[in-house]
Amino acid sequence: MKMPIPVKISPFFYLTAAIIGWLNSQSLVGTLIWMGIIFVSILVHEYGHALTARAFGQSPRIELVAFGGVTYPSGPRLSLGKEFLVVLNGPAFGFGLFLLASFLLKAPAIASSAIAPTVQMFRFINLFWTLVNLLPVLPLDGGQLLRIIFESFFGSKGFRFSVLFSIIFSVLAGIACMAILGWYLIGAIFFLFTFQNLQTWKVAKTISSADQNLEFQTKLFQAEEEMLKGNDDQAIAMLEELKNSSHEGLLHTAATQHLIRLKFKKGMIQETYDLLLSIEKDLTPDLLELLHFSAFELKKYDKVKDLAALCYQNDPSLEVALRNAIALSALKDVKSTIGWVEAAIRAGLENPKQVLEESAFDSIRNEPDFTLFMETLNSESSS
């Protein structure tokens, strides 16, 4: 016997439903009725998704959140056709509630009773929500259906096309709602969708067909498990294979980032540096600093110079400032060297004169500006 589908309800769901109910009824009883209708309508909608996912072998759970509901499926990945049905059956169940209410209103006993206005409201809400939810904009179900259709024709590019379409549609819908129809709240919601999809677009640009490969996803998960167990050599072998097989995309970047940390842990600076360069545009601040460090260790001083300001902005530490000073000295950039030594002093360098006497600064030691700077430090230390 199958277990019931888990349902979790956020307190914000009740709060949002109560606000909507109050704004539409201005009464306590009306608010409670609205809350009941919203609860039943959204829950049935989510059960449409969840029951279909379960029929295809997945283990779904439902959460009712501030602005609606979410169904989280887990288990085997579904084909695009089955995924289409899972998404479609949410609005289909909602439309079923509309048909049920329409049928009930045809019964004279109900149509002439005191509950008729409530049934009419229930009917209208489910028709309205079903139609709105089928609009072709992410994250609505209509946007998800459009995504699946695009992916069936264009593969991984289909997701990017659906996000771009959602941005255009939500902007136009938001303008129409506010400027033409005067529906300011609904217009604001469409502009919120625009913002969400713009954020998604930044990620979507890096998604490749390899990211949808279940075998690759499993390999990354297994490699991460080996890392957690401390089996670094096994993890490196698995990550190398994944990196070479995927070529591009989020999984490729994730595998490369894991490899970078493991190679650096083993003291393999040249390999660490080469891997960092291969994904330089996708580096997080900590990996950017690691590239700065690796370039310094390998005496790639031009690269240190390129990263100097950004790395110090991310981490205004003594170590970063000194690396910059030594690299710029090797490049015979006297003014920049002096600037980075001053930054190191501000960051806590207690013995600048002793540091500047090291051989790393021999290349500019006889330069007039550097000589004057040393004299200034000597006078300050003696006063």
pLDDT 10s digits, 135-155:
999 889 999 999 999 988 887
Angle at which helices 301-314 and 318-330 pack, to 10 degrees? 160
CA distance 274 to 278: 6
CA distance 167 to 184: 18
- Alpha helices by DSSP H, listed for 230-367, are 232-246, 250-265, 269-278, 285-297, 301-314, 318-330, 334-346, 352-356
Statement: residue 3 has pLDDT above 80: no
Q: Which residue has the higher pLDDT, 306 or 78?
A: 306
pLDDT band at 92 (very low <50, low <70, confident <90, very high): very high
Largest separation between any pair of C-alpha atoms in the chain: 104
Mean pLDDT score of the chain: 88
Among 159-168, 194-203, 222-231, 313-322, the least confident range = 194-203
Statement: residue 191 has pLDDT above 80: yes
Mean pLDDT of 108-112: 85
Q: What is the pLDDT of residues 313-352, one digit of tens each?
A: 988 999 999 999 999 999 999 999 999 999 999 988 888 8
- pTM score, whole prediction: 0.61
The pLDDT, as a whole number, for residue 206 is: 65
Least Cα distance to 37 among 112, 121, 129 occurs for 121
Mean pLDDT of 12-19: 90
Least Cα distance to 84 among 129, 158, 7, 151 occurs for 151
CA distance 49 to 137: 18
Statement: residue 2 has pLDDT above 80: no
The pLDDT, as a whole number, for residue 86 is: 93
Q: Which residue has the higher pLDDT, 99 or 201?
A: 99
Strand partners, 62: 7, 71
The pLDDT, as a whole number, for residue 328 is: 94
Statement: residue 227 has pLDDT above 90: no
Q: Are strands 68-72 and 7-9 parallel, antiparallel or unpaired?
A: unpaired
What share of the chain in percent tops pLDDT 90? 45
Q: What is the pLDDT of residues 17-48, one digit of tens each?
A: 898 889 888 889 989 999 999 999 999 999 99
Angle at which helices 285-297 and 301-314 pack, to 10 degrees? 150
What share of the chain in percent tops pLDDT 70? 95
C-alpha distance from residue 110 to each of 36, 104, 242, 287 (Å): 19, 7, 63, 67
147 contacts 159 by C-beta, under 8 angstroms: yes
Mean pLDDT of 61-66: 87
Chain length of the chain: 383
Q: Is the dihedral of CA 200, 202, 208, 214 positive or negative?
A: negative
Among 1-10, 233-242, 330-339, the least confident range = 1-10
Amino acid at site 112: S
All domains of the chain in start order, with CATH: 1-134 (no CATH), 136-201 (no CATH), 211-382 (1.25.40.10)
